[in-house]
Amino acid sequence: MFHWLEKNPFFFAVVVFLTIAFAGIVEILPSFAQQSRPVIGTKPYTTLELAGRHVYIKNSCNGCHSQLVRPFKSETDRYGDYSLSGEYAYDRPFLWGSKRTGPDLWRVGNYRTTDWHENHMKDPIAVVPGSIMPAYPWMYTNIADIDTAFAEQLTVAQFFSVPYNKPVPMKDGSTVIVKMGKSVADAHSLALAEAKLIVADMKDQDVKDAVANGQIPEIVAIIAYMNSLK
């Protein structure tokens, strides 16, 4: 048998390929299936956080900031624990990135606060001298798109079994429930309630007034999203 294969390079190559492929499947698939599941402490995005994620993508923040902490000491010392695939279970699309003009933001919620983001987005150089990041003044007046965020929630809940309105295990042994509205009006109410908690730590009076009047500026939504990245 082996002598025959040695005399037939094509079939020899096919057998080698199938052997390696089979070994790879046996080794990779079980691990991939396990690691791709949500790790403990990973919860779905709220309506407001999803709206903020849309703002983040719309303004091409992912063009300069990756969301992938690599397993190197230089990165974990700066950004925290390296990323696990199961932490991205609810990210569609992934925002990993391969180039950084600015710092990685995957764990930014662990070391930046609401008021820091508020000041930084308004005047980056005043907060980080020498920064080349532009200011985003329109986020303080543009209104976040809660309807689209709610539509995304409905889609992922129906087709990807994202556990909205169900207990999600956290690292400290507790559980949290990320509520999804039953209607557009309900989604707006949930997002507004979360927005009021965000603006309590903000100083911009116009933003505070907008939320008090039932509107949610984009800056509030993107801060909610950034605070969720931990």
CB-CB contact of 146 with 51 (8 Å): yes
Q: Where are the domains of the chain?
A: 2-35, 47-228
pLDDT digits (tens, 9 = 90+) for 166-177: 999 998 899 999
Query: Helix, strand, or coil here: 62?
Result: helix
How many beta carbons lie within 10 A of that of residue 115, not counting itself? 12
The pLDDT of residue 124 is: 97
The whole-number pLDDT of residue 33 equals 62
**What are the 10-residue block averages of pLDDT along the chain, 230 residues in total?**
73 85 73 70 96 97 95 94 91 88 96 97 96 97 98 93 93 93 96 98 97 98 97
pLDDT of residue 165: 95
DSSP 78-141: HH-SPP-GGGGTT-SS----S--SS---TTGGGT--HHHHHHHHH-HHHHSTT--PPP-GGGGT
The two tokens of residue 89 are: 């279970």
The per-residue pLDDT for 2 is 64
Q: What is the pLDDT of residue 20?
A: 85
What pLDDT sits at residue 97? Answer: 85
For domain 47-228, the CATH architecture is Orthogonal Bundle (1.10)
Contact 49, 156 (CB under 8 A): no
* Cα distance between residue 43 and residue 148, in whole Å: 20
pLDDT at 31: 61
Q: Prior bond to 134 cis, omega within 30?
A: no
Half-sphere exposure of 58 (CA within 13 A, CB side): 17
Number of other CB atoms surrounding residue 6 within 10 Å: 10
Q: Are 90 and 228 in contact (CB under 8 A)?
A: no
Compute the distance between CA of residue 216 and CA of residue 187 in angstroms, rounded to an integer.
12
Map tokens 């990165």 to a residue.
Answer: 75
The first and second tokens of residue 34, run together, are 């396990």
Residues 6+ apart with CB under 8 A from 226: 52, 56, 105, 108, 109, 112, 117
CA atoms within 13 A on the CB side of 89: 21
**Alpha carbon of 3 to those of 9, 11, 38, 45, 60: distances in Å?**
11, 12, 49, 59, 59
Q: Is 154 helix (H, G, I), strand (E, B) or coil?
A: helix
Q: How many CB atoms are closer than 10 A to CB 216?
A: 27
